Amino acid sequence: MSVSVTPDASFGRGGGDPYDHAIRTGADLFLHEDGCAAGGSVAARPVEVGRFLARADRAERRLLASTRGSVLDVGCGPGRMVAEALARGRRALGVDVSPASVHLATSRGLPVHHGSVFAPVPGAGGWDVVLLLDGNVGIGGDPVALFGRCRELATGTGLLVVETAEDRWHDRRYTARVSAPCGRGSDAFPWAEVGADALAAPARAAGWRRVGEVHRAHRTFVVLGRRA
């Protein structure tokens, strides 16, 4: 059975807005394929809200230290990577569709733009490093379109840093929902998951090439540069 997904559907939005509720309260949250109960599906996985609310961890600090220049964090949440970049004296901006995340970030004095990455973004074409961390390669459910948009936002010599799925050949597109044990559930939204090796094809299609790969703890980050 097909699921109706609104054109502006995005991660954890709509319904009971479980993502915003979790950002405000620190509540548990699960991402799962639409039609599967969060508590009963093996496909369900916890959303690391606690990490989003914390400071950038050691792995993320080292990752940021390996790059240079201005930073645009797409799907920034409450802005931990923006805060870290600013602390290093770098120009930075976050972009997120979650009102709760943006409110929390801006209340801390962090520059975070409330809106979709596919809508107008301040400084488009002028960002040296574009980040897609925390599974944000899934935004929009179409990595080629997302990578193409990130190419528009980056400078001519800019980098795109993508955190990938643990399975290097994992490559899925599906309709997802976010749910909380308290019963809150989001509207359905398109999502994607891509591993480090599977990333090559959509990256190439969007005009990127692999220039590096960084391993930090159990996480893998692929660094992309523009194709000639």
In order, the DSSP letters of 177-226 are EEE-TTS-BPPPEEEEEEBTTTTHHHHHHTTEEEEEEEEETTEEEEEEEE
Band (9; pLDDT cuts 50, 70, 90)? low
- The residue type found at 185 is G
Q: What value does the mean pLDDT take over residues 11-19?
A: 88
**Arithmetic mean of pLDDT, 220-224:** 97
Q: What is the pLDDT at residue 29?
A: 95
Domains in the chain (CATH in brackets) are 55-171+194-226 (3.40.50.150)
Residues in CB range of 107: below 8 A, 6 or more apart: none
Residue 31 has pLDDT above 90, yes or no: yes
State whether residue 165 is helix, strand or coil.
Answer: strand
Band of the pLDDT at 40, cuts 50, 70, 90?
A: very low
**Confidence band of 43 (pLDDT split at 50, 70, 90):** low
Looking at per-residue pLDDT, the higher value among 34 and 120 belongs to 120
Say yes or no to pLDDT of 162 above 50: yes
Using the predicted structure, report yes or no on whether residue 12 has a pLDDT greater than 90: no
Report the half-sphere exposure of 62 (CA within 13 A, side-chain side). Answer: 10
Residues 194-214 have pLDDT tens digits of: 999 999 999 999 999 999 999
Q: What is the pLDDT of residue 5?
A: 40
Name residue 213's beta-bridge partners. 222
- Residues in Cβ contact with 25 at an 8 Å cutoff, skipping those fewer than 6 apart: none
